Structure formats: C-alpha cells, structure tokens
Amino acid sequence: MAIPATNRRRVTAVVTLSSLLVLGLAACGGGSEASSNTDKPIKIGASLPLTGEFSQPGKAAKEGYEVWQKMINESGGLHGRKVELVIKDDASNQNTIVADYNALISQDKVDLLLGTFSSLLNLPASAVAERNQMLYVEPAGASPKIFSRGFKYVFFSQQATADKQGEVFANWIAGLPEDQRPKTAAYPTIDDPFAVPTVEGIKAILEKAGVQTVYEQTYAIDTKNFDTIVNAMKAKAPDLVVHGAVFEDGVGMTRAMRKADFTPHWLYQTSTPSNGDQYANAVGIQNTEGVMYAVSHAPQANTPGNKEFVAKYKEMFGGLPPEDAADAFAAGQVLKAAVEAVGNVKDQAAMADWLRKNSVETILGTLKWNADGSPIGQFLIGQWQKGKVEFILPKESATTDNIIMGWKPGGAG
C-alpha cells in the first residue's frame, strides 16, 4: 500500500526528530557521566559587591565564604572533593550581577552557587539561578519580595525575613509597663527592599500596642544629608526612633541627631549597629550606649561550630567576624548539608526538596524553611552597652540580664 507523499514527509520528520532527540539525550548522559570525575574540585560560584556602595558587606561575605572553604577543605572536602570558590565582583550593580551569575553558570560552569549580598542584588541574581534550576542559598536578602515569586530553588540562610526582623524587639517594647513604654514613634527609612519591610513590621506591632506614629518617611538610597530629616523629626519629638538603615545612612542619621541635639528616649536601627568597631568609630563610641538592633549572629553564641568559625576567622583575617561574614559562612553550611544529604552535586532539585523538608544546624542556630524558601525563626536583639554589644533578647539567647532602658548618647564608657 502506497503512503501519500505528505504523510511520507511527516513520517520522515518524526523519525529524524526522534533520532536527534535520542542522540541529544545520549550526549547529555555521556556528559554527566564524564563530569562526575571525583578528582576534580567542586566549583562553587558567587558574585559579591566587592566594590561600589555595598563593598562593606560584600568584603565581609567573601571572608565568610573563604573561611568556610578553608575549613571544609581541611576536613576532607565536600562529599570527598575539594571545594574551589569562583568569586566575581558585581560592583554593587544590579545589571552586573545578572551578567556575573549567567557567566558563572555558562562559562565558568560552576557545580553549585552561593548567593550575594543585599536584597537589591539577590532579587535579580536569584532569578538567574531559578531559570537555570540551580540551588541558590543566599546569605543576605531578607526582602519578602524574594520569596513571593513562587521560586523553588532560593533559600535564605538567616533566621527570618525582613518583615519579621524586628518582631522580637517590637513585642518587647509593646509588652513594657505603660509608664516605660514609648507613646510616640518616628520611622525614617532608606528606600531599600530590606529596610522598608523591617520597619513596617515593627510599626504594625507598635501601632497595635498604642504607640502613635508621628513621623514616617522614606528617603532615597543616595541621601547624604540627614540634617533636614532630623530637624523634621525633632519637631515631632518622638519617644522612639526606629530607623530603617543600611550602614552609611545609619551613621549619617545618628551624627545628624547629635548635631541637632535631638535625643529620643529610644533608638533602634536596622543593620548599622551590627557593624562592630566600624559603627562605634563612625558615630563615636560614647554615642552607642543603649542603641538596639536585630542581628543574626553573635560571636559568643554557643551554637554548633561557632567557636571553630570564630577562631578560624581570627586566624585568617584577625579580629571578631562581622555578622555578614557569619551569614555567608552559614550559607555554606546549608549548601554543604543539602549536598551531603542528596549525595551528589547534580540533583539540585532534590537538594531544594531536602532543604524544604529538613532543618540544618548552623553557627546561627537551627535553620528551617517554608515551602517558598523563607526561613522560620527569630533574630537576636543586640544592644550596645559600655562600648560593647550584649545580646538582650530573646531571653534564652541573652548574654546579659541587664537592659539599658533607652538611648544614652554621650554615656558609653
């Protein structure tokens, strides 16, 4: 029986396509076979803001990754293979970070990825990882926006997203006896995807507790001059200032407050006061007394592996590790746990599934996640006391029972 010409062409096309598909699959299979060479180091790629506006946390994160790499290689490697970091500099630029992660995947052909710093940069970078179906553990990037996109491969290696960052502090303030509780609050905030939800989270709790909002403004990310904002806040005379800050703006605001002789009874800042000596030097150590903030890591915490991490950091870079270095180290710990649980570096979907179902012990404590990759946990609340940081909340993680009731600039020892 003769087959009509059009059908013949269709059959030929189907057969050709099928053959190509089979050949293609065979090639892929061969490729994966060849690349599972156990002698080769596991390449882990990350791009960090080593220059530009976010160079401060970027540099610390690089140190954290390097401590993790050194410790893992000294203990026999990851899944029996040495770990090699490939770190690029995104210059704090959203466009560069996309190019960098694309290059890490397609040109450097890294086996695994680690995240970058700040929500601003992790937002686009995590999208690149998702498109390539690669696990993306980010050490910073607490913006809830990162976890509202239905992504399956992004995980955050800190205790809570930004909207819950100040929860412990806000609940504590709300629970104070009425004569000690602030009656009014001001909320100046940098226009940043991390700081804004943090402050909104605190404000919601405090307003519910009856703390009246008297000033609320968002300022542009490149704001240098804080005198006018402080002057406006001073006119409203709030009892509490909750400042959504990154670093330099936190310093700028505090200095402007001192210049204007504006001393609210309470001062809470996001991020800035966690920068240890740099913060104390920048605002003047005498002005740090009583400042409160949320933080993910305490060098003196009794979490598994923390002592070893702090010692190795000191050996490699000197001094105490900054919070950002600890967060990066924890991201490495999460990645390691996922790889070891799955047993290879190829099945990234299995790693993500494993993380969704399990918890990981890190130097920040036990981390566990929701289905969207956002963490389930609580931050520590730190307070500057006599020129040093003490952890005051939650009670079970506190390093002291003494809480300085308010901001006492000029009072630190």
Instruction: Report the candidate in 226, 324, 222, 314 with the shortest Cα–Cα distance to residue 274.
Output: 324
The helix-helix angle for 94-106 and 119-131 (nearest 10°) equals 30
Instruction: Report the candidate in 113, 167, 158, 188 with the shortest Cα–Cα distance to residue 338.
Output: 113
Q: Select from 9, 40, 149, 183 the one that contacts other proteins (CB under 8 A).
A: 183
Q: Please, which residue, 349 or 403, has the CB nearer to other proteins?
A: 403
- Whole-angstrom distance, CA of residue 401 vs CA of residue 183: 25
Does 59 bind other proteins (CB under 8 A)? Our answer is: yes
Does 171 bind other proteins (CB under 8 A)? Our answer is: no
Does 229 bind other proteins (CB under 8 A)? Our answer is: yes
One character per residue 78-97, x = contact with other proteins (rule: CB under 8 A):
-------------xx-----
Q: Select from 132, 223, 344, 399 the one that contacts other proteins (CB under 8 A).
A: 223
| CB-based contact 135:113 (threshold 8 Å) | yes
Q: Select from 121, 251, 363, 380 the one that contacts other proteins (CB under 8 A).
A: 251
Instruction: Report which secondary-structure segment, H or E, holds 203.
Output: helix 195-208
How buried is 159 (Cβ within 10 angstroms: 0-12 exposed, 13-18 middle, 19+ buried)? buried
One character per residue 274-293, x = contact with other proteins (rule: CB under 8 A):
-x--x--xxxx--x------
Does 58 bind other proteins (CB under 8 A)? Our answer is: yes
The DSSP line for 318-376 is -SPPPHHHHHHHHHHHHHHHHHHHHTSSS-HHHHHHHHHH--EEETTEEE-B-TTS-B-
Q: Please, which residue, 142 or 282, has the CB nearer to other proteins?
A: 282
Secondary structure, 3-state, 129-184? HHHCCCCEEECCCCCHHHHCCCCCCEEECCCCCHHHCCHHHHHHHHCCCCCCCCCE
Does 258 bind other proteins (CB under 8 A)? Our answer is: yes
Q: Select from 73, 102, 171, 218 the one that contacts other proteins (CB under 8 A).
A: 218
Instruction: Report which secondary-structure segment, H or E, holds 266.
Output: strand 266-269
Does 259 bind other proteins (CB under 8 A)? Our answer is: yes
Q: Select from 68, 117, 194, 247 the one that contacts other proteins (CB under 8 A).
A: 247
Does 252 bind other proteins (CB under 8 A)? Our answer is: yes
Q: Select from 5, 175, 224, 302 the one that contacts other proteins (CB under 8 A).
A: 224
- Whole-angstrom distance, CA of residue 264 vs CA of residue 251: 16
Q: Please, which residue, 214 or 301, has the CB nearer to other proteins?
A: 214
Does 400 bind other proteins (CB under 8 A)? Our answer is: no
The residues that touch other proteins, with contacts defined as CB under 8 A, are 50-53, 55-56, 58-59, 91-92, 179-180, 182-184, 188, 191, 217-220, 222-225, 227-229, 231-232, 235, 237-239, 247-248, 251-252, 255, 258-261, 264-265, 275, 278, 281-284, 287, 401-406, 408
